[in-house]
Amino acid sequence: MDMQASETLLPMPLSTLTAEEQILQETVRKFARKEIAPLVREMDEAQKMPPGLISRLFDLGLMGIEIPVEYGGVGGSFFSSILAVEEISAVDPAVGVLVDVQNTLTVNALLRWGSDAQKERYLPRIATDTVCSYALSEASSGSDAFALMTTARADGSDFILNGRKLWISNAAEAGLFIVFTTVDPSAGYKGITAFLVERDTPGFVVGKKEDKLGIRASSTCELLFDNCRVPAENVLGEIGKGYRIAIETLNEGRIGIAAQMLGLASGAWLHAVKYSQERRQFGKPIAEFQAVQFTLAEMATEIEAGRLMVYNTARRKMAGMPFVKEAAMTKYFVSQLAERVASKAVEIFGGYGFVKDYPVEKLYRDAKIGSIYEGTSNMQLATIAKQIL
């Protein structure tokens, strides 16, 4: 997993980073290569992350980057979260999505929509030791995100939740879940309401863990609600406003997924460059063959384009500028390029690229999810078309 030899070969748009951001980027890069890289294959095979690694992520502040200092967080920016996700994902996209969901979805939702009491109760925990999960998808609501069947019925000062969620990231480790329900199925999207549900809430169970193609160390589970009683003060935002919370956080989350796929592509490229300089055929390194050089050049060009798109979209979000179209374009483009780059990396490795002893096989498997979760590629194209027309 050593990528030090080629880490400076790919052009980096450092002019777009502040000195503080460059320090963060380098710190996370060193951490990922020193502490995550040795665990990648073991985690992929075991389909889980060791608790000690998750604790280290908290210790470094990477699970609460945007949480204000007064709540125990780092007090950083959305862009800092994007940089962290990119650098971690260059080593292991499974760990990258853990950090991504925590920061760009759940923390963002709480910061924007949480009451003062909710922030005081939950943000210090999220910053120090509590993994969060974002529960929207169901069997009947994937791309049609608001065709929810999970219900919330008012009962005195509480709500009673019933239903089932599927494909929920971070679920095996999470202590807090943002759960989207409907309080009135006849009201359509206007009935969608979000709740903060703690793991030990009676009537709530984290169910089966999925056996996945890629990002296998990242947990993906079903959630079961059977007369789960949640206090009304755990409504996030307002009753009937859950659709707005979901739309706004997912638009931001798509930048995070693009950063994950960007890191994956960069990692695959670095491995391919290093291997091409070591592997010899016909008496010389394969990096001296023009076909290999051109392949690496094409990969580097696509990665650079993707990086500029990710950074630009994140900056637009931070500046308060419109970014819905740009987020859709970025997620679509970068998820596609991650698949292409990872595939080319496998080809450069040849037969070794097809076996688990070498890292690009895993990155190739990991790349596929980028065009599926947090909005499929077709849904991104639909969003882009709507915005430009």
Nearest Cα residue to 40 out of 109, 101, 90, 102: 90
pTM to 2 decimal places: 0.94
Burial environment of residue 318 by CB neighbours within 10 A (0 to 12, 13 to 18, 19 or more):
middle
Q: What is the CATH number for 384?
A: 1.20.140.10
Closest CA to 218 of 115, 370, 74, 323: 370
- Domain boundary (102, 131, 160) is at 131
Residue 145 pLDDT grade (very low, low, confident, very high; cuts 50, 70, 90): confident
Same domain, 44 and 140: no
**Domain stops at, among 217, 240, 263:** 240
Q: Is the pLDDT of residue 163 over 90?
A: yes
* Same-domain check for residues 260 and 372: yes
Q: Are residues 233 and 261 in the same domain?
A: no
Q: What percent of the chain stands above pLDDT 90?
A: 93
Structure tokens given for 302: 């696509």
Under 8 Å CB-to-CB from 211, ≥6 apart: which residues? Answer: 47
Rounded Cα distance, 26 and 8, in Å: 12
According to DSSP, the residues that pair with 165 across neighbouring strands are 223
Residue 59 pLDDT more than 50?
yes
Number of H helices, E strands in the chain: 12, 10
Report the pLDDT value the prediction gives residue 12, as an integer from 0 to 100.
Answer: 47
Parent domain of 262 = 244-388
Q: What is the pLDDT of residues 251-308, one digit of tens each?
A: 999 999 999 999 999 999 999 999 999 999 999 999 999 999 999 999 999 999 999 9
Q: Are residues 248 and 384 in the same domain?
A: yes
Partner residues linked to 134 by β-bridges:
178
Last residue in a domain, options 191, 213, 240: 240
Do 147 and 77 fall within a single domain? Answer: no
Quick check: 340 pLDDT over 80?
yes
In this structure, are 373 and 353 located in the same domain?
Answer: yes
Please check the confidence at residue 88 and state whether its pLDDT lies above 70: yes
pLDDT for residue 143 is more than 60: yes
Q: Does one domain contain both 63 and 124?
A: yes
| 182/189 Cα distance (integer angstroms) | 8
* Whether residue 139 sits in one domain with residue 124: no
Tell me what pLDDT residue 142 has.
Answer: 78
Backbone angles phi, psi at 181, to 5 degrees: -135, 180
Q: Same structural domain for residues 368 and 252?
A: yes
Q: What is the DSSP string of 224-264?
A: EEEEEEEEGGGEES-TT-HHHHHHHHHHHHHHHHHHHHHHH
292 shares its domain with 380: yes
pLDDT in tens, 2-30: 444 444 444 445 457 899 999 999 999 99
* Angle, vertex CA 187, rays to CA 184 and CA 193, nearest 5: 55
Give the contacts of 203 (CB within 8 A, at least 6 positions apart): 161, 225, 226, 227, 228, 229
Residue 119 pLDDT > 70, yes or no?
yes
Q: Label residue 147 by pLDDT band (50, 70, 90).
A: confident
Average the pLDDT over each of 136-150, 224-238, 285-299 and give the range with the smallest value.
136-150
Residue 374 is a catalytic residue: yes
Question: How many domains is the chain built from?
Answer: 3
The pLDDT of residue 168 is above 90:
yes
196 in the same domain as 112: no
250 plus 235 within the same structural domain: no
Q: What is the pLDDT of residues 176-227, one digit of tens each?
A: 999 999 999 999 999 999 999 999 999 999 999 999 999 999 999 999 999 9
CATH number, domain at 167? 2.40.110.10
- Residue 15 has a pLDDT of 53
> Which CATH number goes with the domain that contains 86?
1.10.540.10
* Pairwise CA distance, residues 67 & 107, whole Å: 7
